[in-house]
Structure formats: C-alpha cells, structure tokens
Amino acid sequence: MEGISGALTLLWMVFAASQAFKIEISPDSPVMAPIGASVSLTCRATGCEAPAFSWRTQIDSPLNGKVRNAGSTSTLTMDPVSFENEHSYLCTATCGARKAERGIEVQVYSFPKDPEIHLPGPLQVGQPVTATCLVPDVYPFDRLEIDLLKDNRLLKNQEFLEPMESKSLKNMSLEVTFTPTREDMGKALVCRAMLHINEVDAELRERETTKELQVYVSPKNTTVSVSPSTRLQEGGSVTMTCASEGLPAPQILWSRKLDNGNLQPLSGNATLTLIAMRMEDSGIYVCAGVNLAGEDRKEVELLVQVRSLNFLKEEKEEEEEKQEEEKEEEEEKQEEEKEEEEEKQEEEKQEEEEKQEEEKEEEED
C-alpha cells in the first residue's frame, strides 16, 4: 500500500509540475438539495489557463439552473430547487484539445416545517380525544417516521413505508386517541418527526413540536344555598350563594329569568344579596357556573309575599268561612231531625189505623 501511495504521490508531483489538467466538483455527491432552497454546484479546473465549461444532465433534460463561469470555476445555481433538479449532472471542461468530465448526483428532499399538533377542542377529563400530528410538505415520505409522546411516554410511532406513487410534497400525519385525566394538566404533548436521510445534517433530519396540555372539567353539581328562605315578605332581603364544580373553577354568573325566557344579568359574584324585595321581584333566579368547557345552571324561585295586613285579612276571611260552614251544618242537622220526627209520627198513625181496622174486623166476626 505504502509503495503504491508513494508512487501516486510521485506521479502527482510529475503531473503538477507539467500543469496536469483536471476538474473537481463540489459538494460531495450525492447532493441532498432541500426543495425551495438555493443550491450551487461548483466545478473547478486546474492545470489550464482558460478552461471552457459546459453543464448537462445525463438524460439531457433542461438544467433548471443558472451557470456562471469565472476564470477556472463554473457554478450551476438551482434557485429554487425543485423536483426538476433531481438528476445526475455532468460538468465538462475543455482546455484546448484536452477534456475532463465529472458527474454529480442531485437528490431533492423536503422537510421545511415543524410538525403541527392539532386538537379538536378543549380537552375534557374523561372524554376521549384524537390528537393529530401533521408534518407538512414532506418528500420523500417513505423516509419519514413520526413519534407522538405524552409526558415523555410514547403514545404512538409510525414509519411511512408505503411506496411513493408520484414526485410530490405530501402532508403526512399521525393520529392518536387518548382519554385525558386531571394529571395531564400542564403535561407536554410532543410530536417528533424524523426524515431518515443520512446525507442530510443530523440537526435538519429531526423536527419537534411541543404542546402544553390544558384539561378541563365542564361545570357540574351547581348548588345554591338560600338564606333565610325562598319565601320572603315584602321589604325583606335574601342572600343566595352559588357554588359549582369544574376545572378550572367555574366563574359564577347570577341572572334573573324574564317573562320572555331571556336572562337579565345581575352579578358575577357567587354571593347575591337582594334587599328591599317587592312582590314584583318574585320569580326565577338563575345561577350559572361557566368555564371554557361548558356551563351548568341551577334555578331558584323566590316568592315575595305582601306583609301582615293581608295575612290578617286572609285569616279573618278564613274564620268567617268556617263559621258559615258550621252554621250550615247545624241547620242541616235540625232539618234532618225534624224530618225524622215527622216520619215517626206518620208511622205511628198508620199503625194505629191498622190496629183499629183489625179490631173492627174481629167485632164483625
């Protein structure tokens, strides 16, 4: 080996001394060119004063790039890189009668954006949800792998090995369904996408997006405590306190139900105090516990009654009615007794007559 390399070195020295004509091309083949970016191929000649360059593709399709020659270098710039640049390019340089040729293969790829994590709406504890990780505009997608992780634990992994039917950018996505718990609050949902192309720099092969989870419990178990009572006297006051359970803690909204069914807002405080109540304040009061996930309502009916005077009047009326009834009953009783008496007398009279009749008959015999 050493002998050969020594001999090559010697040969090179001889050639260099006689200005050997050769070309080099950079970067190294194959070139991984990101679609949409600007990529240049440089052909450099040595051993010639004024070389002439030409570029072509191996299948003689258009170059889809611009050539700039400057002294002993020629640059082919593809800006922007597209699928039409996926070729083997040949750089040819001539120096008088001498000719040198070098090929370079260009492959394109696309992995331009971080993944997007999509959730259909607010996450509710106990309700299954499907999260989607979307990796936009990928090529070649048979090199793509996606991981979905929650709280550093792998939920799902997929490699997209299906054959590619066409040269095009594709949105690739991975879905996972899970049921959020209260413990998921603040935890990280991570989507990691990897494009396995070894020729691409390691840090460009992987993209990651993190979403902090917010979980909700829609308001429930809304309760109202009323002090002193839902039946009030005119001029009195009442305090109603509303509570509702949820995550995050529901906001409390008090309102009154109008005759047309609409709600008239009253207060955003959990404790609602109503003073100097009038009869027309009677009606349905509504407490709503509200958060981002929903709403839960509780209705309370307040009845404001007119005070004392009316109570007395009502009582008097009731008393009179009772007396009236008693009197009627008494009269009815007397009536009945009278009727009974008459009946009895009638019967006695009949019996008397019958007896007399009998006696009379006996006498005749």
Q: CA-to-CA distance for 93 and 55, rounded, in angstroms?
A: 9
* Residue of 93, 24, 103 lying closest to 59 (CA atoms): 103
According to the binding rule CB under 6 A, does residue 36 interact with ligand NAG?
A: no
- Quick check: helix, strand or coil at residue 278? coil
Q: Which is nearer to ligand NAG, 63 or 119 (CB)?
A: 119
Instruction: Identify the DSSP state of 310.
Output: H
Residue 128 in contact with residue 115, Cβ under 8 Å?
A: no
Q: Which is nearer to ligand NAG, 233 or 269 (CB)?
A: 269
Q: Which of residues 269, 310, 345, 356 is near ligand NAG by CB under 6 A?
A: 269
* Residue of 154, 112, 125, 93 lying closest to 214 (CA atoms): 125
Q: Which is nearer to ligand NAG, 225 or 233 (CB)?
A: 225
- Six token digits for residue 122: 């607010």
Q: CA-to-CA distance for 70 and 80, rounded, in angstroms?
A: 22
According to the binding rule CB under 6 A, does residue 206 interact with ligand NAG?
A: no
Please state the closest distance from residue 111 (CB atom) to ligand NAG, in A: 13
Residue 186 in contact with residue 152, Cβ under 8 Å?
A: no
Q: Which is nearer to ligand NAG, 264 or 269 (CB)?
A: 269
Q: CA-to-CA distance for 173 and 67, rounded, in angstroms?
A: 39
Output the CA torsion 275→280→282→285 (10° steps).
Answer: -80
Q: Which is nearer to ligand NAG, 31 or 224 (CB)?
A: 224
Please state the closest distance from residue 266 (CB atom) to ligand NAG, in A: 12
Q: Which is nearer to ligand NAG, 100 or 134 (CB)?
A: 134
How many residues bind ligand NAG (CB under 6 A)? The answer is 7
According to the binding rule CB under 6 A, does residue 114 interact with ligand NAG?
A: no
Interface characters, 168-187, with ligand NAG (x: CB under 6 A) = ---x----------------
According to the binding rule CB under 6 A, does residue 136 interact with ligand NAG?
A: yes
Q: Which of residues 313-332 bind ligand NAG (CB under 6 A)?
A: none
Please state the closest distance from residue 90 (CB atom) to ligand NAG, in A: 35
Residue 303 in contact with residue 231, Cβ under 8 Å?
A: yes
According to the binding rule CB under 6 A, does residue 271 interact with ligand NAG?
A: yes
Q: Which is nearer to ligand NAG, 51 or 246 (CB)?
A: 246
Q: Which of residues 215-244 bind ligand NAG (CB under 6 A)?
A: 221
Q: Which residues pair with 92 in a beta bridge?
A: 54, 101
Please state the closest distance from residue 263 (CB atom) to ligand NAG, in A: 19
Q: Which is nearer to ligand NAG, 95 or 290 (CB)?
A: 290
For residue 137, the one-letter residue type is D
Q: Is 359 left (phi over 0), alpha (psi -120 to 50) or beta?
A: alpha
- Quick check: helix, strand or coil at residue 52? strand
For residue 41, the one-letter residue type is L
Q: CA-to-CA distance for 262 and 303, rounded, in angstroms?
A: 19
Q: Which is nearer to ligand NAG, 41 or 172 (CB)?
A: 172
Please state the closest distance from residue 221 (CB atom) to ligand NAG, in A: 4
Kind of pairing, strands 294-305 and 231-233? Answer: parallel
Q: Which of residues 114, 116, 234, 295 is near ligand NAG by CB under 6 A?
A: 116
Please state the closest distance from residue 118 (CB atom) to ligand NAG, in A: 10
* Residues found near ligand NAG in the complex (CB under 6 A): 116, 134, 136, 171, 221, 269, 271
